[in-house]
Structure 1
């Protein structure tokens, strides 16, 4: 008996599963991590960005794979539930991309490869365990922090002592996003106090606040955060929570701009990171970021 051939998933399905509209936030993470470590040539940045892209997209695929039962109940119409792609295919692609990310970190030495393995493991931990886990926002924040740490390790060949402050600030911002995202299917947010974590990048930039590029980056980040918090608190329109979450995800680029400016990065690099915000928002209009 011949096997029944399944049609290839549509490109739009693959892109939605990978939340590829949010990829500029990953690339600016790499730029910020490399600047914190002292800078890297373009070919290194490109390879590190490819590795972190594989980690991010793989993690998004596995998020849908492990959430497929809950999504069928709370978010019907997601690609697996809609029959656009099989759960087995999503799993294979997800784990394959995580493995690809680790392989791409190998040329940068043991420390970078170890960061890659740790990042992959932390991504899987989040995807498997985030439902009903009060600590899941911290785990997700750790995932993004490891992008900074991994980029620094790839640039320097060792674990950099310069990375922790920026990594912690980024982790806090992402943890705040994740807290809001956990309420997205309900279009509501309960307690707003965890959103205070969004202030961490602003506080981390305080010692360098006198510099012009830092002030500009901080103002942009503050404006983006304020708009998102207003949407979460007041919910002035339908879908306010998903809209706020998407905006906070895009604001990761502004967190990176603040980090680059605080580290003394060139104004061009600060601007490049800041431009990731409107680029991500533009992509999110085509492919949902959540």
Structure 2
């Protein structure tokens, strides 16, 4: 399987293994988690770094645990093709998770507990995602805990209504796209009814735009509605590809929906009356993710 290459991890394999093109959505998740919970804005950089470490570490461990399956179904992945040592990828993955956990724990017990839950969810997904049809639920939980970890690290309210509603929508968005991603290796989609969960994040975003945030009701409602519309168009474009099922449609749709996470985050931040700079940064994470996916595969 080429699992003992001459180098531990080749430079480009470092980026491919970590799916680093999707990191802008981790940035938008952190911003949304902090703002929706009323957390401290100055703590955003630390939360972004911790979530990035968790994301990349989780992706490394995903490849390391899937090496036998990838050798059959996706031989172009770095470990099967000999661009990375499985042992090195395992080591790097666990080290990155440990660094993320330490960074979160340094903010206090709440940050450490939330990060511990996130690390556990990541490990559970990586271990069982090829073994059960319930795996998309665990991946949805991972992204939901990104909100919670960022909020806890920044001293936000974990019971804030905006955070709870937003987290529910994010959970459903990720469950839907993860279900589709499971079919990517075959470039086809089986039953389409599970994709109905993609309607909930759109409903949450529109509802938040219409009702406003707790501290600044309707302050940025027009922008929030516009971002919700952009989210709806992205979801519609992804669904069109899923239903069309032409060659390459499934992976392209999955990549698009991953990028659309940033639009969802931006819409919620705007609806909550968040800083306009935060809205702009989160919104720009959508085109940035799509651009980076052209260089480094996002799936």
TM band (smaller chain)? over 0.9
Q: How many residues align?
A: 285
- Say whether the 8 Å CA contact 1:149–1:164 is kept in structure 2: no
- Say whether the 8 Å CA contact 2:152–2:158 is kept in structure 1: yes
Quote the offset at 1:6 in angstroms. 4.1
Quote the offset at 1:38 in angstroms. 1.7
1:242 alignment counterpart: 251
CA-atom RMSD, angstroms? Answer: 1.6
User: Which sits farther off after the overlay, 54-63 or 190-199?
Assistant: 190-199
Quote the offset at 1:9 in angstroms. 2.5
Between the aligned partners of 2:133 and 2:237, the Cα distance in structure 1 is 25
Between the aligned partners of 1:89 and 1:73, the Cα distance in structure 2 is 21
Between the aligned partners of 2:296 and 2:276, the Cα distance in structure 1 is 30
What are structure 1's unaligned runs of at least 5 residues? none
Between the aligned partners of 1:213 and 1:164, the Cα distance in structure 2 is 21
Between the aligned partners of 1:232 and 1:5, the Cα distance in structure 2 is 37
Cα offsets for 1:186-230 (capped at 9, x unmatched): 111111111111121221134333321221110110011110100
2:142 alignment counterpart: 143
Between the aligned partners of 2:41 and 2:166, the Cα distance in structure 1 is 21
Structure 1 residues 5 and 28 mapped into 2: Cα distance closer, same or farther (>3 Å)? closer
1:107 alignment counterpart: 106
Between the aligned partners of 1:81 and 1:56, the Cα distance in structure 2 is 21
2:293 alignment counterpart: 284
Query: TM-score when scaled to structure 2?
Result: 0.91
- Say whether the 8 Å CA contact 2:263–2:282 is kept in structure 1: yes
2:182 alignment counterpart: 182
2:209 alignment counterpart: 209
Structure 1 residues 158 and 262 mapped into 2: Cα distance closer, same or farther (>3 Å)? closer
Cα offsets for 1:144-187 (capped at 9, x unmatched): 00000111111126634342211111011001010000000111
Between the aligned partners of 1:157 and 1:256, the Cα distance in structure 2 is 17
Cα offsets for 1:66-101 (capped at 9, x unmatched): 110000001112111011111110100001111111
